[in-house]
Amino acid sequence: MTKIVVAVKYVPDATADRKFESDDTVDRENVDGLLSELDEYAVEQALQIVEEGEGEVTVLTVGPDDAADAVRKALQMGADAGVHVNDEAIAGSDAIATSLVLAKAIEKLEYDLVMFGMASTDGSMGIVPTLVAERLGLPAVTYGSEITVDGSTVTIRRDGDAASETVTAEGKVVVSVTDQTGEPRYPSFKGIMAAKKKPVDEWSLADLGVDAAQVGLDASGTQVESTAPRPPRTAGEIVTDEGDGGTKLAEFLASKKFI
């Protein structure tokens, strides 16, 4: 019986036109949001683990009202239960503050294994899994590309550029998984209907015993100084072949350090 908590994030659709608010936080109001695609891999791995043995998957998110959509999507995929930590005071929290909320919520749950995606598709920092592990006092194994559970032993393969390493962990552990673990499943109509009946708890900071002053924009350890839209794409450079086209192309590539 493996009890898995999968922490997921509700993010602005990466294919949409994303913007920042005046306080340099991400605009979450005017862009459609969804369950971070990288987190779907963690949900998929958790589901596979409990399908092979026995267990339960609880999906946990911290976010505003709409973040319930991310929980629902994971429940539609097959997770058993959801927890949504929703409190206005959390708005603007950075990775460190968010990790406090996540850790407190995880402590309230029964679990053997905590899983994360490798990073969010909006912040792209990839540090929350280790921050949460530190707060929980647990080992963290990040960027796993293959995860197996045998009793209380978790085996994780990590693929680097030059070598792969296989790590085993006994007891509780925090794992983040990459997009190489296997394509996440689609929900099915049955999953959509079943999700309506699955339990979702909504918790506030008070439920977790977290003081509002410990989180939010002001309490965050990092502050975004400024944001600027990426400059529009400029027209490409056209190389006219006057007998020396090949040379010019090679020079261009060399100037960009491609060759």
Partner 1 sequence: MPADRLMPTPESADLVALTRSIVDKELRPRVDEAERSHSFPRDVFRTLGRAGLLGLPYPEEVGGAGQPYEVYLQVVEEIATAWAAVGVGTSVHALSSFPLFTAGTEEQKERWLPDMLGGDQLGAYCLSEAHAGSDPAAMRTRAVRDGDDYVLNGAKAWTTHGGEADFYTVMARTSDDGGRGITCFLVPADAEGLSADVPEDKMGLMSSTTATMLLDDVRVPVERRVGDEGQGLSIALAGLDAGRLGIAAVATGVAQGALDLAVRYATEREAFGKAIIDHQGLAFVLADMAAAVESARATYLHAARLKDAGRPYGRQASVAKLVATDNAMKVTTDAVQVLGGAGYTKDFPAERYMRETKVMQIFEGTNQIQRLVISRHLAR
Residues lying near partner 1 in the complex (CB under 8 A): 72, 76, 186-190, 192-193, 196
Minimum gap (Å) between residue 211 Cβ and partner 1: 35
Is-contact 86 71, C-beta < 8 A?
no
User: For residue 66, what are its two tokens?
Assistant: 């709409």
Minimum gap (Å) between residue 7 Cβ and partner 1: 22
Is-contact 61 84, C-beta < 8 A?
yes
At position 24, the amino acid (one-letter code) is D
Question: How many H-runs (helices) and E-runs (strands) does the chain carry?
Answer: 7, 11
> For partner 1, which is the closer residue by CB, 4 or 35?
35
How are beta strands 2-8 and 113-117 bridged, if at all? Answer: parallel
Dist CA 88 CA 70 (whole Å): 18
User: For residue 204, what are its two tokens?
Assistant: 């506030």
> For partner 1, which is the closer residue by CB, 96 or 192?
192
> For partner 1, which is the closer residue by CB, 76 or 176?
76
Minimum gap (Å) between residue 73 Cβ and partner 1: 8
- Chain-centre distance of CA 23, in angstroms? 23
Minimum gap (Å) between residue 63 Cβ and partner 1: 18
Minimum gap (Å) between residue 227 Cβ and partner 1: 25
Minimum gap (Å) between residue 14 Cβ and partner 1: 12
Half-sphere exposure of 162 (CA within 13 A, CB side): 0
> For partner 1, which is the closer residue by CB, 10 or 111?
10
Dist CA 117 CA 106 (whole Å): 16
> For partner 1, which is the closer residue by CB, 189 or 258?
189
The answer for residues whose C-beta is within 8 angstroms of residue 220's C-beta and 6 or more apart is 92, 93, 94, 96, 97
> For partner 1, which is the closer residue by CB, 127 or 192?
192
